[in-house]
Structure 1
Amino acid sequence: MAQIPDQVWNDKEHTMNIFSKDHFVKRCLMSAIGVLICGIAVGFFKHAFFGVDPFQSLMAGLDALIPIKFGTLYVIVNVILLLFSLIFDRHYIGLATFINLFLLGYVAQFSLETLQHFFPAPALYLRAIFLLIGIGVICFASSFYITADLGVSTYDAVALIISNTWHIWQFKFIRIITDVICVVAGVGLFLLATKKIDGIQAVVGIGTIITAFFMGPLVDFFQVKVARPFLEGKSEKQPQ
């Protein structure tokens, strides 16, 4: 299951309930809505102008170093991560994975363009509000589609596999490590490609640092407090 390993949630009764009509409909809704809301959150995050999230930091560094179109590069990197999941635990590939691949980018672009239309030059305080909204909403939405267990993004799958399949530390700590690796690699690749500090804000900023250290724990918090109770129902017995 797509959750932290110290709260095992895979007993036989639960496994049988996964495919019950009620739970399956809930999972589909949680996957679709969770991913689409993530796209909206990315728009807020980008319009805050405080740096991109850790995975996009890596992508920005690769984009500066490798002379191919960003769209093509993005597909290549995600295919590599998809192969990682298919080899080690294909259970994380599902509905949400493909919604993420084909729709999240368009939703994020629509969200960003809408914000740019209404707030073409946001003041510093408004940018800070956008950043907080973006981080909070993306963590909340991620907890829903991860808990739905119908697939996750190829990047999310890496930390989940290391945590739940290989049983190396808790998800929140693994996520911090993978996020930090992406940020460091992105900055390093950008500097290697450009040989200058100018434009480094395209790779890393305060928003990047915040998400690198707090996104994992926040997703974990929303999973335990909101997403799992929503899926199972408040009246049902929660896993120990």
Structure 2
Amino acid sequence: MSQMVKRIIMSILGVVICGVSVGMFKFAALGVDPFQSLMSGLDAVIPIRFGTLYVIVNAILLLFALIFDRKKIGIATFINLFLLGYIVEFSQGLCEKLMPDAPVWLRIVILLIAIVILCLSSALYFTADLGVSTYDAVALVWSQRQHKLKFAYCRVICDLVCVTLGVILLLLAGQNLTGIFGSVGVGTIITAFFMGPLITFFNVHVAQPMLGKPKEEKKDEG
């Protein structure tokens, strides 16, 4: 199998797994990933449909990537943009159908699995290098331009900024604690602190070996 075919498969697989993981996050209802927590906050204060808002925010981030590093835009970017939402809806609906009235312990297990496969999916399409999501591009571009700051740390900082802004926006919208914890909960905190390091781990030990690369961190990703 040629390298290009492997990279395309890794990109598609990465986006699909990412969508499944986000659907599992939403099903667990213990806090979504940092970017989605920001989107929840924006949705609470901006009176337009969420789908339209999602497109606008990602278009702004896409513009950032086009300005600073067009190489981050590729097939995975557009698969993510146009298909991710449908995959999320399908996986969330499937979980609700298979596990109705899931107890808290089961939702915790689903959350932990979702965190792991979300990081694995990110590593797959990062390493395939055929484009990443517009949000992922921010941390990648930043880490490349600030060589003293590894990708893992750039990702943690970006995630913490998203979580903080999400909470502030939800508070400004008058959300109660129950509403806030539904969007920004334990799952959000875990992903904010551990996604960067976990992505780097899967990149080094899974994604790079799939392309026949040695198990060492690339300079542009930390």
Task: Work out whether 1:48 is the aligned partner of 2:35.
Answer: no
Task: Give percent identity, aligned residues only.
Answer: 58
Alignment partners' CA distance in 2, 1:221 and 1:173: 13
Contact 2:204 2:215 in 1 (8 A): no
Task: Work out whether 1:230 is the aligned partner of 2:210.
Answer: yes
List structure 1 segments (4+ residues) > 2 angstroms apart after TM superposition: 165-168, 195-198, 237-240
Cross-structure match for 1:112:
92
- Give the CA RMSD over aligned residues: 1.5
Helix, strand or coil for the counterpart of 2:164? helix
Give ranges in structure 1 of 5+ residues lacking alignment.
1-20
Give ranges in structure 2 of 5+ residues lacking alignment.
218-222
| CA drift at 1:227 | 0.4
Alignment partners' CA distance in 1, 2:22 and 2:99: 16
Residue identity in the other structure for 2:147: H
Alignment partners' CA distance in 2, 1:65 and 1:188: 11
Cross-structure match for 1:71:
51
Helix, strand or coil for the counterpart of 1:190? helix
Helix, strand or coil for the counterpart of 1:232? coil
**Aligned counterparts, 1:200-215, within 5 A:** 200-215=180-195
Contact 1:131 1:207 in 2 (8 A): yes
Alignment partners' CA distance in 2, 1:141 and 1:165: 24
Cross-structure match for 2:134:
154
Hey, which of these two has a bigger chunk of helix by percent? Answer: 2
Cross-structure match for 2:196:
216
Contact 1:60 1:202 in 2 (8 A): no
| CA drift at 1:168 | 4.8
Cross-structure match for 2:17:
37
| CA drift at 1:195 | 6.1
Alignment partners' CA distance in 1, 2:180 and 2:211: 41
| CA drift at 1:167 | 2.6
Cross-structure match for 1:87:
67
Please tell me whether Structure 1 or Structure 2 has the larger radius of gyration of its CA atoms: 1
Residue identity in the other structure for 2:116: G
Alignment partners' CA distance in 1, 2:99 and 2:57: 32
